[in-house]
Amino acid sequence: NAGVTQTPKFQVLKTGQSMTLQCAQDMNHEYMSWYRQDPGMGLRLIHYSVGAGITDQGEVPNGYNVSRSTTEDFPLRLLSAAPSQTSVYFCASSGNRRGDSPLHFGNGTRLTVT
Amino acid sequence: AQSVAQPEDQVNVAEGNPLTVKCTYSVSGNPYLFWYVQYPNRGLQFLLKYITGDNLVKGSYGFEAEFNKSQTSFHLKKPSALVSDSALYFCAVRDFPTYGNNRLAFGKGNQVVVIP
């Protein structure tokens, strides 16, 4: 049982480049989300989805796009990378949209923008 | 908007001693509360949750937490700490459900160091 799989594990980008962080879950979870983790700031929600075809913005959505064409996949796109987007990115899913089910996290993507 | 405060940056405790990690929250309705643990270079792992019912909830690895509505707190506890408990701990809160919204607010995290 793979759970939540994120790729790549590490990435270095130059300012202005674009890229897609991949996230896939094999638990048939309705809810998926992207967080970024920065030292001393905890986790901040970027975007989330409550099902295929439905996405919404979180706390820090600027500079990021998402789509949810299938239940399993929830890619995060950086449109034009900036040094401020240097962070560790986590994808998380949960079994329902009620909020009483815990989040399952991937192991993260460490992104550096130079 | 919901928010979580974890007032201490780092908690140091000797192995075998009780461990407490503090969390206070602010929400507009009844809270759903969670604790997660993060080991180096890994994602967060769920420890326990309070949704409703008994104020004392038990979770994984011998951890428990007490929900205190009057003090708006949800402190994480373990009676006897192990060196392997050294990790980063996050408290998180969700407002009483708005259907379709599973947004969580996380605290900034507490580094726990258990000294052998």
* Span A38-97, pLDDT tens digits: 988 889 999 999 899 999 998 899 999 999 999 999 999 999 999 999 999 999 999 876
Q: What percent of chain B has pLDDT over 90?
A: 72
Average pLDDT over residues B29-53: 91
Predicted pLDDT at B101: 60
Q: Which residues from A are below 8 Å from B103, CB to CB?
A: 33, 45, 48, 58
What's the rounded mean pLDDT across residues B108-116?
95
Q: What sign results for the dihedral spanned by CA atoms A99, B38, A59, B105?
A: positive
pLDDT grade for B28, boundaries at 50, 70 and 90: confident
Of the pLDDT bands very low, low, confident and very high (cuts 50, 70, 90), residue B78 is very high
- The encoded tokens of residue A75 equal 């890619």
The H or E element containing residue B25 is: strand B24-26
**Is there a contact between A98 and B102 (Cβ–Cβ < 8 Å)?**
yes
pLDDT of residue A73: 97
Q: What DSSP designation does B62 have?
A: G
Q: B32 and chain A: CB distance < 8 Å anywhere?
A: yes
| Rounded alpha-carbon distances, angstroms, from residue B44 to B53, B71, B91 | 25, 26, 11
Q: Any bridge partners for residue B48, and if so which?
A: B35
Q: What is the CA radius of gyration of chain B?
A: 14
Structure tokens at B16: 């075998």
Cβ distance B101 to A102 less than 8 Å, yes or no, reads: no
Provide the phi-psi class of A6: left if phi over 0, else alpha when psi is between -120 and 50, else beta: beta
A42, A96, B64, B101 from B98: Cα distances, Å: 23, 12, 27, 6
Return the pLDDT at B96. 55
- The confidence band for B99, taking pLDDT boundaries of 50, 70 and 90, is very low
CB–CB contact A41 B108 (8 Å): yes
Mean model confidence pLDDT for chain B: 91
Residue B25 is predicted with a pLDDT of 94
How far is the C-alpha of A24 from the C-alpha of B78, rounded, in Å? Answer: 34
Q: Do residue B97 and residue A100 have CB atoms under 8 angstroms apart?
A: yes
Look-up of token digits 């970024």: A36
Q: Is the pLDDT of residue B56 over 90?
A: yes
Task: Tell me the per-residue pLDDT of A10-25, one tens digit each, with 9 for 90 and over.
Answer: 999 999 999 999 999 9
Confidence band of A100 (pLDDT split at 50, 70, 90): confident
pLDDT at B95: 64
